[in-house]
Structure 1
């Protein structure tokens, strides 16, 4: 793979989210090279082996939308008829739907198919009507997860129509499926009324072991949890309290330890704590007693400078805080997680959520504060030296977080608390 960019100055890294894939004849390589030499930003080039005709496919990753737009225009103009085919990999991936169902039951013979017929179903349904405690044993519900969003908090956009969240919801479903092995179904709900989210959860509950609220405003998540009460009809998690908050708490502790500071005596400031869900409680549970919660919407930047002077760390959930010089900042904006290649330097919901979801579905118990704290310590213990967090694809990460959370749930004297 080659990276190209004008001049010797440091430039942003290429990002596969801004890519174009082209198909060219063998004698067009030189034109592509000349285009890359003139690119206004950084471009990474990956070429497949030539086919039998000598033509090849080349993927070009730009560093952002402006470089990609220039690249697409220039390649079309310079290559002309030599541009055999061009596609945008982002939209190609999105058009697949990203995941699908698979048939688990045997269907290769007539006898197999007969086991899926009405008479067979009638026997199982009759049995489950008399023994409802065995529903998870004789259905797929035990490993089925509903991924629910009302499209009110999608990657920094203003509130969107419900179907517009599908690309982000499908991506999240793929990530959770890969990490947990559970069957995850993306389910956008169209409602202007926050109470309808709880109603949707109740309606869907009979078919799922768990539901996860994602790309939904935190205030709506909170209202939904409250509306469903301490014993919801289905195990209910969300990407802030069960994802971002534990990951950010672990990154906070690691950031202090990496600087040789004792978290028990460190002074930490959280900017916009309302966006962090259970974050403040997790930080206190991890021993950070000197904790200041700063609301940037009611206080000025000057006020932050005043209270942050001499602080050991600022945890910024807005991405806009400007601390005094010399005060380290951990940025953890809920709607803008870091790229997957940078997950050792910033928190993503996928650090903790897959493990907590696995623990909840395995134990059939709701996630508690104790389980989240256990997830925080599991992340801390599995973080590479001098990093803030383990990479989200670190082998065994989901399993160790799930094991820690499961032990906490088994030992929790009050499973409804938390």
Structure 2
């Protein structure tokens, strides 16, 4: 945890310190976030049950508490960036009808991913979970799909030749996404993390090489670019109201 905090701090150029919170329920977790010192301008939740973190995140957002992002959010942003990069590498756009379907295998593991893909312009999305396998085998679901975001590790053996397959292992930009969100929130009072902000972050991180490891020499610049894009969303939102 300390190593992650150090790495995020280097990427974001802001102080990041690890804190252990009581995660024995939504209320305790949300109360723990609220009780953090006043100088904790934004929070990244890691190593916590995704369902619990999502519920705590919703409760804190509704109450106007400090911005909170989860490691699942950062992973979803990085996977979206990887898919956008793959599309760009093919000389296409997300809304191009030639893509056909995008299948998310294991959609329950990253609930924010589907709304983020819609925001990114992917209109034809099929969500699949392991519980669907009896009536809808994954092999038949991914047949003819343009791309598969495989969160289960099951799709590599059953997809069509030429289908773009992206797995959790391709979320190399996740630390940059998390650091960018924290940096943007700290520099923009009143910021709120949501799909619009995550979309801006994914767009800034997207490149044909998005599914590959981020070279150390470019990670900080990539983080700054993503943070600037997110901060622009925050400022535009504030100037609108």
Tell me the TM-score normalized by structure 1. 0.51
Distance (whole Å) between structure 1 residues aligned to residue 27 and residue 43 of structure 2 = 16
1:389: how far off?
Answer: 5.5
Pairwise CA RMSD of aligned residues?
2.5
Number of residue equivalences: 233
Q: Which of 200, 203, 219 pairs up with 1:374? A: 200
SS of the counterpart of 1:377? helix
- Runs of at least 5 residues in structure 1 that lack an aligned partner in the other structure: 1-168, 333-337, 339-344
Call closer, same or farther: CA 1:307–1:277 in 2, change over 3 Å: closer
Q: Which of 311, 314, 329 pairs up with 2:165? A: 329
Larger Rg: 1
SS of the counterpart of 1:269? strand
SS of the counterpart of 2:223? helix
Distance (whole Å) between structure 2 residues aligned to residue 362 and residue 414 of structure 1 = 15
Distance (whole Å) between structure 2 residues aligned to residue 278 and residue 324 of structure 1 = 24
Q: Which of 251, 269, 273 pairs up with 2:82? A: 251
Please give the residue correspondences for 1:341-380 in structure 2 after superposition, counting only pairs within 5 Å. Answer: 345-364=170-189, 365-380=191-206
- What residue in structure 2 maps to residue 221 of structure 1? 53
SS of the counterpart of 2:7? helix
Please give the residue correspondences for 1:185-334 in structure 2 after superposition, counting only pairs within 5 Å. Answer: 185-241=17-73, 243-264=74-95, 265=97, 266=99, 267-300=101-134, 303-321=137-155, 322-326=157-161, 327-332=163-168
1:297: how far off?
Answer: 2.6
Distance (whole Å) between structure 2 residues aligned to residue 284 and residue 353 of structure 1 = 21
Q: Which structure is higher in strand share?
A: 1
- 1:367 touches 1:409 (CA, 8 Å); kept in 2? no
Distance (whole Å) between structure 2 residues aligned to residue 291 and residue 217 of structure 1 = 25
Distance (whole Å) between structure 1 residues aligned to residue 79 and residue 211 of structure 2 = 9
**Worse-superposed segment, 244-253 or 363-372:** 363-372
Please give the residue correspondences for 1:88-167 in structure 2 after superposition, counting only pairs within 5 Å. Answer: none
1:183 aligns to 2:6 (yes or no): no
- 2:43 touches 2:182 (CA, 8 Å); kept in 1? no
Distance (whole Å) between structure 1 residues aligned to residue 114 and residue 240 of structure 2 = 21
Distance (whole Å) between structure 2 residues aligned to residue 224 and residue 350 of structure 1 = 21
Tell me the TM-score normalized by structure 2. 0.86
- What residue in structure 1 maps to residue 233 of structure 2? 408
SS of the counterpart of 1:359? helix
Call closer, same or farther: CA 1:412–1:392 in 2, change over 3 Å: farther
1:228: how far off?
Answer: 2.1
- Runs of at least 5 residues in structure 2 that lack an aligned partner in the other structure: none
Distance (whole Å) between structure 2 residues aligned to residue 401 and residue 296 of structure 1 = 34
CA deviation profile, 1:199-251 (whole Å, cap 9, x unmatched): 1111115342122111112101111123324243322222222x111111111
- 1:180 touches 1:358 (CA, 8 Å); kept in 2? yes
CA deviation profile, 1:241-274 (whole Å, cap 9, x unmatched): 2x11111111112223323454222221001112
CA deviation profile, 1:328-349 (whole Å, cap 9, x unmatched): 31111xxxxx4xxxxxx54342
- 1:198 touches 1:227 (CA, 8 Å); kept in 2? yes
Moved over 6 A (4+): 413-416
Instruction: State the structure with bigger RCO (CA 8 A, min sep 6), 1 or 2.
Output: 2
